[in-house]
Amino acid sequence: MQRLIWLWLLALVVSVAGPAVPVSLAQEDAAQADGGEAQDPADGDEEVPAGPVDPAQDGGGVWGKAEMNAKRGPAFLSWLKLIPVILLVLLWIVTADWVNRSSQMHGLGYGKWNPIIFFPFLLGIMVLVLVPYYIAGISVLTLTYFVPFIAYTVVHNKSVEPHEKVFTSDWFRYTMAEMLSKVGIKMEVERKADYEKGAPVDLTAYGGDEQTNQGNLITARQSPGYLLVKELIADMATRRSERMVLDYLQSGVNVKHLVDGVWHNGESRDRESGDVMLAVMKQLANLDITERRKKQTGQFGAKFEGVQYICPFISQGVKTGERVLLEMRGGSQAKLLTYDDLGMREKIKNQWSELMALDEGILVISAPPEGGLTTLTDVSILETDRLMRDFVAIEEVHHPERDMENVVLNTYDAKSGQTPATILPALIRTYPNVYIVRDLVDRESAKLLFGEVEENHLLITTVPAMEAAEALLRILQKKVPQKEFAENFTAVLCTRLIRKLCSECKVAFEPSPDMLKKLGLPPGKVQQLYRTPKPEELEKPCPNCNNVGYVGRTGLFELLVADDKVREVLLKQPKLELLRKAGRLAGMRTFQEEAILLVAKGVTSIPEAQRVLKGA
């Protein structure tokens, strides 16, 4: 409504301008300038009588001229004089809008300041329109704009934080920097609250309702530990740290980072700064700051370099003090959407895609604990066609997985004693084509699902395991019907994650014949392998890997497709070594073979392959 009134005022100013000067008056002024004689064009050459003219008849003299000007309207009758008026009105519109928003934001009483800004300027417009003197009118209009505006600015600056003040030297410098940045010119400027300084990280409070979270954020910002938490998040993101452990000891705080699945020591911190930093994290997660013994769990949000992270937080009292586990979820983890993103070889990708497209059977997906099981399962579902078949997922309500398009979610509540078997009878009557049950929690659920497989349905399930053969034994340990599983089992895909050498600092070397023999590579097949650089080979820290030697991870994949021999072993002698042997006879490439292939391609190193294959 206010903006409509402002635009109406602008339209009023423009409309009252009218034409510059009426034609008849212009002709009269020109005639008087030539000697005081005026000639009517309609009279041709007729002479005008000489002699004195009655002022009452022609309005002559000073008083007549003033009266004539008064009849011409406002004090401005040319566009040149109208321009300052239009600029003042536009400036006032912007100012009034700012006062309206600012007074509400800072609680300065918009009901009081809006009329103070509005009505004096409206009076100034009326004076400008009615007073026949331009200078007087424009002066009054200028005063009615600046006086209320300056008054509000003084009150505003006394009521806000230093970084929120306007028309100060810092404000002008900041505004100039903003304008220059739009044309590509950078200008150093410092106009920030204390909590805005430090690392370019935005923190968000979670764990309560909107009002509680906002209060926790405001409280956290007042602590010096707030900047320390921002630096901590920036450090984790820069290091690509998935987790951080903070061990609070009497003498200080020990720090460890989990980068690409391997723990690295970080820089220790003093106890004092560590305590204020911990208090801020607990405040942001809506936890008890004073509690240092009991286990507390929560989370807060962070944004760094345009990437949004969720930061789960766990604190637990220990004998030496307190241990804190901080995670960062987001960033590159959210970009794994295809088999290529996982590093799957073309042959395995084609095989697994064909298996996922089957109409019946049991497919098992496995990985070591925290080794990519959820990601591999999600990508497998995302990469298969979910339009021509009906997919249903059965999940525990308190442990939801990723929402996926064209996958109907069905949940059960384990805390209430429910299992997949509780909801399966009703779900079976909807005739889905594919069941996704990530955890076969009991024999009854497995029996119902295996019965559906025998009725030409596909079951996709998961289990933690170190290798494909072990995954089959883990399924049997769940007390599933062994005969039905052995007869309907189709394939198992297992993955392990292996670090990739840093492309910027990896060092090539020529392998010896003995090394090639141990790797099972023919002589002359591979001319060079790669390794991480030695400390003396680095002139300065590598900006790509921070001298870790590795950047990112890729997958090793073991695909065991069932044949008669594999099913026979499952049914009669389900032992690890026998399953391994049967899998190799069925054409399975082992993790060791997959790792050597990546070593030969220069993707990873021999020590990294040995680390990942340990226990395989």
pLDDT tens string 172-197: 776 776 677 666 666 555 556 778 88
pTM of the model: 0.68
Q: Percent of the chain, pLDDT > 90?
A: 57
CA atoms of 495 and 528, how far apart (whole Å): 27
Residue 524 has a pLDDT of 79
User: Which residue blocks in 458-512 are alpha helix, DSSP H?
Assistant: 468-476, 482-488
Residue 493 has a pLDDT of 98
Instruction: Reduce the DSSP state of residue 569 to 3 states and report it.
Output: helix
Band of pLDDT at residue 27, cut at 50, 70 and 90: very low
Is residue 328 within 8 A of residue 242, CB to CB? The reply is yes
Residue 389 has a pLDDT of 95
CA atoms of 116 and 152, how far apart (whole Å): 9
Mean pLDDT value across residues 551-555: 94
CA atoms of 221 and 242, how far apart (whole Å): 25
Structure tokens at 535: 């400390």
What residue has token string 């022609």? 58
Residue 484 has a pLDDT of 95
Residue 616 has a pLDDT of 52
Residue 33 has a pLDDT of 39
Is residue 543 pLDDT above 90, yes or no? no
Band of pLDDT at residue 250, cut at 50, 70 and 90: confident
Is residue 145 pLDDT above 70, yes or no? yes
Category of 256 on φ-ψ map: left (φ > 0), alpha (ψ -120 to 50) or beta: beta
Is residue 45 pLDDT above 50, yes or no? no
Taking the mean position of all CA atoms in its chain, how far away is CA 116?
A: 42
Half-sphere exposure of 478 (CA within 13 A, CB side): 21
Taking the mean position of all CA atoms in its chain, how far away is CA 265?
A: 28
Is residue 220 within 8 A of residue 226, CB to CB? The reply is yes
Mean pLDDT value across residues 330-341: 79
CA atoms of 302 and 334, how far apart (whole Å): 15
Is residue 53 pLDDT above 70, yes or no? no
Is residue 374 pLDDT above 90, yes or no? yes
**Residue 508 class from Cβ within 10 Å (0-12 exposed, 13-18 middle, 19+ buried)?**
exposed
Mean pLDDT value across residues 385-389: 93
Is residue 571 pLDDT above 90, yes or no? yes
Specify the higher pLDDT residue, 82 or 256.
Answer: 256
Is residue 147 within 8 A of residue 120, CB to CB? The reply is yes
For residue 497, which of 354, 399, 582, 603 has the smallest C-alpha distance? 603
Least confident of 39-53, 74-88, 210-224, 402-416: 39-53
Residue 35 has a pLDDT of 42
User: Most confidently modeled of 55-69, 117-131, 583-597?
Assistant: 583-597
- Kindly report, residue by residue over 257-272, the tens digit of the pLDDT: 999 999 999 999 999 9
